[in-house]
Amino acid sequence: MAKVRRFVSPEQSAYARWLELGVRIGMAGLLIVFVLYLIGYPAAHVPPDALPRYWGLSAARYLAAVGVQPGWGWLQLVGNGDYLNLVGISFLISLTMVCYLRVLPETWRKGDMISAAIILLQVAVLLFAASGVAVFGHS
Amino acid sequence: MQLGFNWLNSVLFKHPAIALRPEVPQNAITAACTPAQPGAGGMPSEREAASNAAARGRSNGMDDPEQRWPESRTILIRLLGGLGLLAFVAACVWGGPAIAAQANLPWWAWIALLFVFCFCIGIVSVLAGVGGGVLFVPIVASFFPFHLDFVRGAGLLVALATGLASSPGLLRTGLASFRLALPLGLVASTSAIFGAALGVSLPTNLVQIALGLAIFGIVFLQWRAKKSEHPDVPKADALSAALQISGIYIDVAARKKIEWKVHRTPEALLVFAGIGVVAGMFGLGAGWANVPALNLLMGAPLKVAVATSMLLSTVVGTSAAWVYLNQGAVLAMVTVPSIVGAMLGAFVGVRLLHVVSANVVRKVIILTLTAAGFRALLTGLGI
């Protein structure tokens, strides 16, 4: 393994380490929260047996029908089983950004300014995506 | 479920369809780059060689008589499989939405069916060497009562979760290249936001028509694209040299270090911009196009292309997934069973690699995707 490590940069190793840890925590958390949702604890905003009335609607109509704001509006409902699951999903989606931020200082210290700039741009792009600004309207 | 997710990486090493070598223990990788000293950590001793041969025999199921399948059983499986496939394709083209609309099932039955279905997709995607998202979206949209928005959101997250689970191991072995993924990921993830926002905003029938056409394009790519294990790259282009995109990995089977570099980086950036739009718009993930673009266009070795594709799919999937989440297109009840089912299916698929012909599965996938593409097109046209 040591010979293989010789060909892997410290940034790449650090990225892998953080990603692996994050995926383990995220997947375990997601499974636990989903099982709790299935057994009804905490109570869901939209109970599972009511879902068939809504899952054929478009996302925009679904949000309107169940009274949830688009964007980060679902955060107000994380006390409900169904929306608590979105915390686990968001955690998994955030991992890439966290790992990029993890390797940024090392890249910067090495004087690799081009890579550091790309990493910063990538984080900015992901933050923009997470902001909820990117939408052209609703179908 | 295995917490380390190393089984996902073993897919990449065992897969016959992508011409990768059989899985070799990690210590063998170390041994491969040390001087040849029989029995002393370099070339294997006779006992080690015999042990490795036995392991290979177990792995491909050819040498061990107990692992052989009786011919009659193989014919029966193929016959049943063929009939099942024909029925599936016919249902996909003509009856999918009608079945979904008329089946008056309780919610938990749909979710159980979705879990089983995703489990099968996980198996098949490993056997055929295609990403799960590309199978998930068109087929689930045809057979399940969920709106296309929720199907695309779940498809993206299935592709993302698979990439997240397999990337750490691939990065650690040096097969996935962080440097190669950096500029391509930036371009593809930016365009994926645009694609996702467009996909959520356009009328569903238009997206269905575009999805059908995109699926036909993917089928063509899967059918025609050849793969090259070590493409010839005479000279790195100026951009890739400036970005220091190059690397070394250990080819365990060939017992040598492979140094690689890439070319045509500017053209690849344009291609990845397009891949990002399609991946985000239809929730297909990016695995279906990453490998041909990295391998055939840029000249990355096949193993590096496959591994880096997994890493890239996490970056592309991340940006598009935020858009779907913010637009309310992620339903936990659809997404979580899909992710878990697909990952468990991939786990089983790895173990079936030695009894199923990857080439046959590949043809089945092409036929299934063609049918699903027709279904999406017909649904979009209101037929």
Number of Cβ within 10 Å of residue A137's Cβ equals 9
Nearest chain A Cα to B337, which residue?
A34
Instruction: Tell which of B27, B115, B178 to mutate to test the A interface (max A CBs under 10 Å).
Output: B178
Helical segments of chain A, H only: 2-5, 10-38, 59-66, 81-109, 113-131
CA distance B95 to B41: 60
Instruction: Please give the C-alpha separations between residue B344 and each of A20, A92, B23, B363, in angstroms, as whole numbers.
Output: 18, 18, 19, 23
**Cβ atoms B127, B356 nearer than 8 A:** yes
CA distance B321 to A53: 24
Range among B99-108, B155-164, B280-289 with highest mean pLDDT value:
B155-164
B157: pLDDT strictly greater than 70: yes
Helix axes A10-38, A81-109, angle to 10 degrees: 170
Q: Which has more confidence, B250 or B109?
A: B109
From B86's Cα to the closest Cα of chain A, the distance in A is 28
Place B366 in a pLDDT band, splitting at 50, 70 and 90.
Answer: confident
From B237's Cα to the closest Cα of chain A, the distance in A is 16
The encoded tokens of residue B379 equal 């649904």
Which pLDDT belongs to residue B100? 60
The encoded tokens of residue B274 equal 């397009």
In a structure prediction context, what are the per-residue pLDDT tens digits for chain A, which is 139 residues long? 555 556 789 999 999 999 999 999 999 999 999 999 999 989 999 999 999 999 999 999 999 999 998 889 899 999 999 999 999 999 999 999 999 999 999 999 999 999 999 999 999 999 999 998 876 665 5
Which pLDDT belongs to residue B201? 85
Which pLDDT belongs to residue B40? 36
CA distance A92 to A21: 11
From A17's Cα to the closest Cα of chain B, the distance in A is 7
* Nearest Cβ partner for A55 among B145, B182, B314: B145
B324: pLDDT strictly greater than 80: yes
Adjacent-strand bridge partners of B248: B259
Instruction: Tell which of B34, B327, B340, B344 to mutate to test the A interface (max A CBs under 10 Å).
Output: B327
Please answer yes or no on whether A92 and B329 come within 8 Å at the CB atom. no
Sequence-distant (6+) residues with CB within 8 A of B319 are A125, A126, A129, B189, B190, B192, B193, B196, B280
Adjacent-strand bridge partners of B258: B249
CA distance A64 to B328: 10
Place B2 in a pLDDT band, splitting at 50, 70 and 90.
Answer: very low
Q: Which has more confidence, B286 or B87?
A: B286
Residues 107-126 on B with a CB inside 8 Å of A are: 107-108, 110
Number of Cβ within 10 Å of residue B70's Cβ equals 8
Kindly state the helix (H) or strand (E) to which residue B249 belongs, with its residue range. Answer: strand B246-251
From B342's Cα to the closest Cα of chain A, the distance in A is 13
Helix count (H) and strand count (E) of chain A? 5, 0
Please answer yes or no on whether B171 and A16 come within 8 Å at the CB atom. yes
Sequence-distant (6+) residues with CB within 8 A of A128 are A134, B193
CA distance A21 to A28: 11
Instruction: Please give the C-alpha separations between residue B311 and each of B167, B199, B254, B280, in angstroms, as whole numbers.
Output: 5, 23, 25, 16
Please answer yes or no on whether B200 and A139 come within 8 Å at the CB atom. yes
Calculate mean pLDDT across residues B70-88: 68
B134: pLDDT strictly greater than 90: no
- Long-range contacts, stretch B40-49, CB < 8 angstroms, 24+ apart: B43/B255
Kindly state the helix (H) or strand (E) to which residue B261 belongs, with its residue range. Answer: strand B256-261
Predicted complex: ipTM over 0.90:
yes
Q: What is the DSSP string of B315-372?
A: HHHHHHHHHHHHTT---HHHHHHHHHHHHHHHHHHHHHTTTS-HHHHHHHHHHHHHHH
B275: pLDDT strictly greater than 90: yes
CA distance B354 to B15: 9
Contacts of B157 in chain A (CB under 8 A): 89, 92-93
Per-residue b or e along A53-86, where b marks 16 or more CB atoms closer than 10 Å to that residue's CB: ebbbbbbbbbbeebebebbeebeebbebbbbbbb
Please answer yes or no on whether B174 and A17 come within 8 Å at the CB atom. no
CA distance B173 to B170: 5
Average pLDDT, chain B: 77
pLDDT digits (tens, 9 = 90+) for B226-266: 777 788 899 999 999 999 999 988 877 677 888 999 999 99
* Nearest Cβ partner for A3 among B33, B194, B321: B33
Calculate mean pLDDT across residues B19-47: 40
Number of Cβ within 10 Å of residue B69's Cβ equals 10
Residues listed for chain B? 383
CA distance B337 to B114: 7
From B244's Cα to the closest Cα of chain A, the distance in A is 9
Q: Is B191 on the interface with A (CB under 8 A)?
A: no
